[in-house]
């Protein structure tokens, strides 16, 4: 790739959020650094992990440890290991808007200082990217993913073709087995119940202005334009977990569209860190707490006239957990519902205390 051609390609900052999951992160990084897109920088934001994640990720970049893949069909995306070392820089969150760009640095490790949740942790990386004039797009990518080599290039092509496409997603497939679809770009949302469902049809319309298209893009893979970030703002941190993507789409829907590129394929392990299993009966109490809380919080903010039906739906979720013999989860749903009406539950630390 010539320098002149490289200069014509938008610069993308790829942001991965890590929390006690360095094994997933280095596996993801092995696939990311195989992308056929020529102009990107990777940022890993660590939410105060306690498993030496930052040291392990640095060891991987220096070639001292290797990533492994537990999906035989996807080992082609991470093996053999890419050449090491990879040039990197480590900074603290306090430096994200002041650190000068360094030439030939392809990996930036940022310690956020505490567990800021999905939105807070990613926002640290977004602030770093926006502080650099060469940032055209940011790609929020879950650390428990593995990507096809053209996953980024086809999304950038779709975004360039439609300046109003503020957020572009990918076709998400299961990590095990990889032939199963998790969602075609995003999900459809019911304001009556504050629940969403994945889109599993291949022929899904790709842009949100068409009937049947996603209402919002799945957070595991979101390419976001700089213009969207500057006009709509960062992720809403008060959710801490869940509903941030839907809130983003809701805040930007008057000026931007959302959509996805079906050629951008990302394999996702889904919900490993917090127990947010697709089957509700297998969800952790912590997952149920945030789901209940944020279903109500989002409804109060964006469509309050649906609040009565949402409260009924949350109550039915609580009853269902009791009927299947999960009183801890039922109690978590009750605490989440109560927290949604409490101003003292808006902070991330207080939310953690309420959920525990």
CB 39 within 8 A of CB 9: yes
Range with the lowest mean pLDDT among 5-9, 133-137, 149-153? 5-9
The pLDDT value recorded for residue 279 is 58
How far is Cα 210 from Cα 201, in angstroms, rounded to an integer?
15
The pLDDT value recorded for residue 272 is 47
Does the pLDDT at position 129 exceed 60? yes
- Residue 91 structure tokens: 């900074």
The pLDDT value recorded for residue 283 is 79
For 7, 86, 166, 311, 332, the CA distances from 38, given in Å and listed in that order, are 10, 15, 22, 48, 46
How far is Cα 349 from Cα 335, in angstroms, rounded to an integer?
16
Residue-range domain boundaries for the chain? 3-268, 280-355
Strand segments (E) across 148-272: 165-174, 181-184, 186-190, 195-198, 216-217, 221-225, 257-268
Residues 169-221 pLDDT 10s: 999 999 999 999 999 888 999 999 999 999 887 655 555 555 456 889 999 99
More confident residue, 260 or 8: 260
Does the pLDDT at position 95 exceed 80? yes
CB 236 within 8 A of CB 244: yes
Does the pLDDT at position 274 exceed 50? no
Return the SS3 of 121. helix
**DSSP label of 68:** -
The pLDDT value recorded for residue 349 is 41
More confident residue, 49 or 1: 49
The pLDDT value recorded for residue 343 is 58
Q: How confident is the model at residue 350 (pLDDT cuts 50, 70, 90)?
A: very low
The pLDDT value recorded for residue 342 is 82
Please give the average per-residue pLDDT across 162-169, as a whole number: 93
Does the pLDDT at position 4 exceed 50? no
The pLDDT value recorded for residue 94 is 84
Please give the average per-residue pLDDT across 86-105, as a whole number: 81
Domain 3-268 has CATH 3.90.550.60: yes
Does the pLDDT at position 102 exceed 70? no
Range with the lowest mean pLDDT among 2-6, 100-104, 162-166, 342-346? 2-6
Phi and psi at residue 313, to the nearest 5°: -65, -40
Does the pLDDT at position 354 exceed 80? no
Task: Select from 227, 219, 232 the least CA-distant residue to 135.
Answer: 227
The pLDDT value recorded for residue 105 is 84
Does the pLDDT at position 247 exceed 80? yes
Does the pLDDT at position 346 exceed 60? no
For tokens 């030496």, the residue is 52
The pLDDT value recorded for residue 353 is 43
For tokens 């300046």, the residue is 163
Range with the lowest mean pLDDT among 113-117, 206-210, 224-228? 206-210
Task: Select from 181, 256, 258 the least CA-distant residue to 216.
Answer: 258
Write the Ramachandran bin of 52: left for phi over 0, alpha for psi from -120 to 50, otherwise beta.
Answer: left
Please give the average per-residue pLDDT across 60-84, as a whole number: 95
State percent of the chain over pLDDT 70.
86
CA angle 207, 212, 218 (to 5 degrees): 65
């Amino acid at each position: 790739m010539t320098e002149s051609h490289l200069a014509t390609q938008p610069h993308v900052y790829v942001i991965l959020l890590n929390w006690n999951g360095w094994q997933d992160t280095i596996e993801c990084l092995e696939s990311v650094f195989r992308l056929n897109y020529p102009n990107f920088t990777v940022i890993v934001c660590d939410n105060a992990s306690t498993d030496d994640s930052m040291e392990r990720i640095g060891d991987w970049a220096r070639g001292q440890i290797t990533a492994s893949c537990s999906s035989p069909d996807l080992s082609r995306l991470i093996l053999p290991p890419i050449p090491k070392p990879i040039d990197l820089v480590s900074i603290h969150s306090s430096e994200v808007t002041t650190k000068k760009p360094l030439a030939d640095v392809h990996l930036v490790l940022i310690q956020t200082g505490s567990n800021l949740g999905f939105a807070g942790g990613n926002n640290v990386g977004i602030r770093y990217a926006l502080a650099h004039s060469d940032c055209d797009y940011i790609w929020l990518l879950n650390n428990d993913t593995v990507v096809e080599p053209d996953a980024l290039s086809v999304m950038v092509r779709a975004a360039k073709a439609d300046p109003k496409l503020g957020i572009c997603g990918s076709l998400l497939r299961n990590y095990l087995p990889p032939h199963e679809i998790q969602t075609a770009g995003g999900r459809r949302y019911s304001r009556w119940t504050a629940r969403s469902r994945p889109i599993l049809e291949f022929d899904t319309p790709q842009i949100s202005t068409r009937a049947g298209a996603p209402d919002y893009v799945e957070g595991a893979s979101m390419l976001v334009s700089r213009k969207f970030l500057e006009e709509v703002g960062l992720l809403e941190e008060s959710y801490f977990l869940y509903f941030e993507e839907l809130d983003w789409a809701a805040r930007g829907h008057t000026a931007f569209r959302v959509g996805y590129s079906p050629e951008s394929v990302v394999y996702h392990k889904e919900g490993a860190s917090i127990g947010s299993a697709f089957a509700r009966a297998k969800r952790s109490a912590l997952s149920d707490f945030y789901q209940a809380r944020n279903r109500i919080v989002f409804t109060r903010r964006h469509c309050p006239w649906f609040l009565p039906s949402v409260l009924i739906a949350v109550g039915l979720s609580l009853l269902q957990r009791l009927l299947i013999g999960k009183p801890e989860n039922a109690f978590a749903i009750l605490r989440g519902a109560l927290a949604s009406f409490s101003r003292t539950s808006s902070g991330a630390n207080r939310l953690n205390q309420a959920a525990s």
